[in-house]
Amino acid sequence: MLTVSANTGSNEVAFEHAREVALGERFEFGRNWAAFLKVLDEDRIIRAERSLAEMLEVNDLAGRTFLDIGSGSGLFSLAARRLGARVFSFDFDTNSVVCTRELKRRYFADDPDWTVEQGSVLDNNYVSGLGAFDIVYSWGVLHHTGEMWKALEHAAIPVTEGGTLFIAIYNDTGSQAERWRWIKSTYCKLPRVLRSPFAALVSIPDESKRFLSFALRGKPQGYFSHWKNYRNARGMNRWHDIIDWVGGFPYEVAGPSALFEFFKGRGFTVTAMKCDNVGLGCNEMVFRRIKT
């Protein structure tokens, strides 16, 4: 079942988002996504569709309802809609809502089967009022809420009996994750003019290793080709990936076993996962709500 919510609290959500950004407590994901939409092309959209279908182990989503919690650029809401799902998208970030609406305008203007709103996953009343969905999707979002475990609890609410929950959460790497939490917090507190230089600076170690890897193989030009032709499975752009990573605050982490136990206790079982050798990246896990 899919219900269309009239979100009367969107103004309050927008105000709270702006307040947290002004205080340096939150990264402006939506501003980054707005820049990303300028380079979004058909190839990236197809890659997003493939990655979504692969993890859900389906060929299409025809006849399914799909809730995108934290829609960001709107890319995966678009992918789900193109795969045939009826889609409901919401995000806490004002500019992310604008981005998602822009993608709907470009590809599915006036489509009644794709709804976009501003809302917070931390608002129990809002999430509970959305209805039930066959697939609830939240990739790389819930660890940025500032209350990750509460967000994970709420993300389970709209999953229908026998339905699917697909999440991606930053991996717990102990002290390394704590160091990055400090970096991300620092980025958000810097004046805007210093943020990109700071992101470039902290990326030097990893980028140097990547360049050295190409150089040792006698192909230093490959490093620059990697940037120019950057494509990843989720359809992202290299620089926007870096900014999203360095600035992504609030920032919390969880290991696969903690996530498994959390959802096991709430009537879910794991059906797919990508948790090997992710380092500081995300553990991707797909859960199914057990039918009672």
Instruction: With a cut of 60, say whether residue 2 has pLDDT above it.
Output: no
Q: Is there a domain that residue 3 lies in?
A: no
For 189-213, the pLDDT digits (tens) are 999 999 999 999 999 998 899 889 8
Task: Please indicate, yes or no, whether residues 207 and 159 belong to a single structural domain of this protein.
Answer: no
Task: Please indicate, yes or no, whether residues 164 and 228 belong to a single structural domain of this protein.
Answer: no
Predicted model pTM: 0.89
Task: Please indicate, yes or no, whether residues 285 and 225 belong to a single structural domain of this protein.
Answer: no
Q: Is there a domain that residue 219 lies in?
A: yes
Instruction: With a cut of 50, say whether residue 4 has pLDDT above it.
Output: no
In this prediction, residue 292 carries a pLDDT of 79
For 131-183, the pLDDT digits (tens) are 999 999 999 999 999 999 999 999 999 999 999 999 999 999 999 999 999 99
**Number of folded domains in the chain?**
2
Question: If pLDDT is split at 50, 70 and 90, which confidence band does 3 have?
Answer: very low
Instruction: With a cut of 90, say whether residue 238 has pLDDT above it.
Output: no
For 16-68, the pLDDT digits (tens) are 999 999 999 999 888 888 888 888 889 889 999 999 999 999 999 999 999 99
Q: Is there a domain that residue 57 lies in?
A: yes
Find all residues with CB under 8 Å of 242, minimum gap 6, and list them: 199, 203
Q: Is there a domain that residue 185 lies in?
A: yes
In this prediction, residue 231 carries a pLDDT of 55
Q: Which domain holds residue 236?
A: 175-247
Q: Is there a domain that residue 276 lies in?
A: yes
Is 135 or 215 the better-scoring residue by pLDDT? 135
Q: Is there a domain that residue 191 lies in?
A: yes
In this prediction, residue 160 carries a pLDDT of 98
Task: Please indicate, yes or no, whether residues 135 and 231 belong to a single structural domain of this protein.
Answer: no
Task: Please indicate, yes or no, whether residues 242 and 261 belong to a single structural domain of this protein.
Answer: no
Task: Please indicate, yes or no, whether residues 159 and 203 belong to a single structural domain of this protein.
Answer: no
Summarize the confidence of residues 275-291 as an average pLDDT. 95
Report the mean per-residue pLDDT for the chain.
Answer: 91
Select from 292, 1, 270 the least CA-distant residue to 161: 292
Question: If pLDDT is split at 50, 70 and 90, which confidence band does 229 have?
Answer: low
Which residues in the chain belong to E strands, given as ranges?
Answer: 65-69, 86-91, 114-118, 133-139, 159-170, 268-274, 282-289
Task: Please indicate, yes or no, whether residues 31 and 157 belong to a single structural domain of this protein.
Answer: yes
Question: If pLDDT is split at 50, 70 and 90, which confidence band does 233 have?
Answer: very low
Task: Please indicate, yes or no, whether residues 85 and 153 belong to a single structural domain of this protein.
Answer: yes
In this prediction, residue 1 carries a pLDDT of 39
For 54-103, the pLDDT digits (tens) are 999 999 999 999 999 999 999 999 999 999 999 999 999 999 999 999 99
Task: Please indicate, yes or no, whether residues 147 and 279 belong to a single structural domain of this protein.
Answer: yes
Measured CA to CA, the distance from residue 156 to residue 127 in angstroms comes to: 10
Task: Please indicate, yes or no, whether residues 84 and 163 belong to a single structural domain of this protein.
Answer: yes
Q: 119-158: b or e for each residue (b if 16 or more CB lie within 10 Å)?
A: bbbbbeebbeebebbbbbbbbbbbbbbeebeebbbbbbeb
Q: Is there a domain that residue 155 lies in?
A: yes
Instruction: Look up the CATH number of the domain holding residue 128.
Output: 3.40.50.150
- Cis-peptide into 197, omega within 30 deg: no
Select from 170, 167, 169, 171 the least CA-distant residue to 268: 167
Task: Please indicate, yes or no, whether residues 215 and 146 belong to a single structural domain of this protein.
Answer: no
Are 153 and 165 spatial neighbours (Cβ–Cβ below 8 Å)?
A: no
Q: Is there a domain that residue 5 lies in?
A: no
Task: Please indicate, yes or no, whether residues 53 and 99 belong to a single structural domain of this protein.
Answer: yes
